Structure 1
């Protein structure tokens, strides 16, 4: 009889809903969510209903925000800070499966999430500070976490999130860094989080032109050892940053989780299947996927397939010279692609595979962030 594992448990038949639920539950150990609150929302969300998604998550967020505001008026700082933190998470999640980009609730939830997170930082002792990174004629929003355990000059880890989650959602990484005396800079780049929803910035394939101003800014931050800068990219971020380090040589090491050579080609094929399916026969998630990719890539639905084909790192792999860590999991949706990426690298490199025995086999160690943090930072301590 086949042995079952925790990844066989599904909170929804919808892949995105199931993944987001597991991700959010993984944040409970950091105080960013609470198990019962998440389960209450998921039990009420109607399958494939974007209205139900944004309304249910934002309602829970608003409830916590109101509780936090009352506690703050009473000078109950701990209660206020913890409630603000969870409210921030739920406002953020409310926008992740909602495709009406011009709906005022999209911007309202984005602003509320940001404001609640800043309230949390102001009331708690968590060492984070909001920053705006100069970028072309605008800025990229982010946070600098100056570790209280760091020496006068300490390593810096710059974190790039994925397509769907925001910079703040990489908590398992920056929290692990802070506790180990490593400073962290997180940011929403073009196509991500705040930068997309409020700044209107779509993704771009030439991520070296994003990373250069980020590294420029990082070198102005207090406590940073300019000779010990590392980059980490999660999910789609793991595809984007190899191109950045192919051209950005101020970086000592790069971590991709999981890594992919031709991400755009794979997803272009998936969208081609969707477009060949008559609209009236498509499940709701297919229409959402097509619309979501077009929005985040900054093109029309008719142009998105050709746009995605630009996201191919085949030609720049031999330009990467820094040490690379490729993280992988046996339950990655595109299992096998990270190992192909690793095999193609010519630079100093390491490969880290998580299997069922570690319980961290899911996408980006989702659901097993404690284990992922331990393995990741043991490697970082040896290399950065």
Structure 2
């Protein structure tokens, strides 16, 4: 089929809703139509095309509301939320672009309107956390909304939000009989965009605050709480499990030992000694300059590190970014993970390259699921066959919980 969007970075962002097709977040024709609308346009055109599509869906939702068609209105509001959520990723960077903030607020407004419609309305929650307030949602199990059930806490990574996690995971979990708790932690979604709170490595502290809230909810079984993270959440989830022992299970999609380890081979290739590459924040200045040139020459890396990474970690230059990512590691912690743990490994996902090494060092009950390109599930977070990922993970959780 080729690229749906002519710009490869736009295609990466614009095809993310393909993961939500089985769960009502988009249809393929809609994604392709937005791609045609963007055409040869720039980041502003990308934003405008997605927002226009979201506006159209929201207007249809309003019409359905006026006509008393609440099921359709719910579906349309939620889908509009996914479209708004896709629109602003090219605009990442500090200070927050007003257009990004405006689109995010449209996203959350549509998300809230959609979740409020139904036999068991879902209202937004706030989880107090130090000087921040983490936005959160309790998504109940379908048909068992008032029963005490197992809970899956879903944690995002670098740039996804509650809307993405809802369609990527929570809908499938609800259909299987699990309650889900979605939240934007430090450095994520509304906690970053609205409060400028940076990402932090001690995710066990973050998840501890989420569990403190969860155990107070009358429909949650406190002895059956699982934590599942995707993308960078595949590092944050096991990091949390290493220090938060109220968890009954942990899922890492994919499992990741650290952030900094991804950069060390490149630093050595550019001339760093193994000793300095072991602490990237202390790289020799000539090597740092070469690394910066390498990053700036690649639009994808420039977005991931300079636009996203600097903002998420609250830094303004590459050396400070490298210093900031060093503490994101399982060094000295993996042995403390006690709950049953599931790791995923997609065939073509470079972030999954170290999954086997993590698996070998886990001392808890453990399992690893591999996903292949032959099944269309070889990409990062199995994004083009998300239903297979959810089915196999939920099967494992059924057995554990």
* TM-score after normalising by structure 1: 0.90
- Relative to structure 1, the CA distance from residue 339 to residue 20 in structure 2 (aligned partners, 3 Å threshold; closer, same or farther) is farther
Counterpart position of 1:214? 210
1:102-158 Cα offsets, whole Å, 9 max, x none, are 322111111111110111122344763321111113311111012233683221110
Task: Return the alpha-carbon distance in structure 1 between the equivalents of residues 83 and 353 of structure 2.
Answer: 33
1:267-310 Cα offsets, whole Å, 9 max, x none, are 5776956513495xx24444333122100111112411221222
Counterpart position of 1:348? 365
Of 303-312 and 98-107, deviating more is 98-107
- Gap runs ≥5 in structure 1: 1-5
Task: Return the alpha-carbon distance in structure 1 between the equivalents of residues 221 and 130 of structure 2.
Answer: 25
Task: Return the alpha-carbon distance in structure 2 between the equivalents of residues 146 and 102 of structure 1.
Answer: 33
- Gap runs ≥5 in structure 2: 268-287
- Relative to structure 1, the CA distance from residue 269 to residue 188 in structure 2 (aligned partners, 3 Å threshold; closer, same or farther) is farther
Mapped contact 2:295–2:301 kept (Cα < 8 A): no
Q: 2:158 aligns with which of 163, 188, 191?
A: 163
Counterpart position of 1:152? 147
Of 286-295 and 66-75, deviating more is 66-75
Counterpart position of 1:3? none
Does 2:110 align with 1:111?
no
Task: Return the alpha-carbon distance in structure 2 between the equivalents of residues 250 and 217 of structure 1.
Answer: 13
- Relative to structure 1, the CA distance from residue 286 to residue 253 in structure 2 (aligned partners, 3 Å threshold; closer, same or farther) is closer
Q: 1:187 aligns with which of 152, 158, 183?
A: 183
Does 2:375 align with 1:379?
no
Mapped contact 1:96–1:165 kept (Cα < 8 A): no
Counterpart position of 1:241? 237
Mapped contact 1:48–1:284 kept (Cα < 8 A): no
Q: 2:173 aligns with which of 155, 167, 177?
A: 177
Instruction: Count residues with an aligned counterpart.
Output: 375
Q: 2:220 aligns with which of 214, 221, 224?
A: 224
Mapped contact 1:252–1:322 kept (Cα < 8 A): yes
Task: Return the alpha-carbon distance in structure 1 between the equivalents of residues 205 and 381 of structure 2.
Answer: 25
Mapped contact 1:267–1:308 kept (Cα < 8 A): no
Counterpart position of 2:195? 199
Does 2:312 align with 1:296?
yes
Shift of 1:23: 2.6
Counterpart position of 1:34? 27
Task: Return the alpha-carbon distance in structure 1 between the equivalents of residues 130 and 54 of structure 2.
Answer: 34
Q: Secondary structure of 2:47's partner?
A: helix
Task: Return the alpha-carbon distance in structure 2 between the equivalents of residues 126 and 369 of structure 1.
Answer: 26
Matches within 5 A, 1:11-26: 11=4, 16-26=9-19
Of 107-116 and 92-101, deviating more is 92-101
1:20-65 Cα offsets, whole Å, 9 max, x none, are 3333022122221132221111223356832222122112212222
Counterpart position of 1:64? 57
Shift of 1:248: 0.6
- Relative to structure 1, the CA distance from residue 278 to residue 358 in structure 2 (aligned partners, 3 Å threshold; closer, same or farther) is closer
Mapped contact 2:255–2:352 kept (Cα < 8 A): no
Q: Secondary structure of 1:244's partner?
A: helix
Task: Return the alpha-carbon distance in structure 1 between the equivalents of residues 336 and 8 of structure 2.
Answer: 35
- What is the root-mean-square deviation in Å for CA atoms of aligned residues? 2.4
Mapped contact 1:265–1:308 kept (Cα < 8 A): no
Does 2:336 align with 1:319?
yes
Task: Return the alpha-carbon distance in structure 1 between the equivalents of residues 26 and 226 of structure 2.
Answer: 28
